[in-house]
Amino acid sequence: MIELDEDSADAFFHALADRTRRDILRRALAGEHSVTALAASYDMSFAAVQKHVAVLEKAGLVTKRRRGREQLARGDVEAVRSVASMLDELEDVWRGRIDRIESLIQEG
């Protein structure tokens, strides 16, 4: 599992903050797609979809490779797992705080 530093976490959550990027990531996790094929799925320009893919790639959530003239995008499952792991850690912190609050209320 990839260990996230704060800059990587910021990039991940920035990338995931947009619904189009989340949808592109879901598609890319299901299988490799050309950026052209991805762009055909959205009511926006090819350049706009290309920028969304670039944000996902910069965050490490998607990798791209060339096949002839096409750019192929594939989701990185390990990167998504590291995001999930970070969220699990945050959930544990909050559950601990809630447990402490409940204990204080019961004592009071």
Determine the average pLDDT of the residues in 81-102. Answer: 83
- Tens of pLDDT, residue by residue over 38-71, are 999 999 999 999 999 999 999 999 999 999 999 9
- pLDDT, residue 4, reads 61
**pTM confidence score:** 0.79
| All domains of the chain in start order, with CATH | 6-107 (1.10.10.10)
| Residues whose CB falls within 8 Å of the CB of residue 75, separated by 6 or more in sequence, listed in order | 25, 26, 27, 28, 29, 30, 61, 62
- pLDDT, residue 84, reads 82
| Cβ burial, residue 26 (10 Å; 0-12/13-18/19+) | exposed
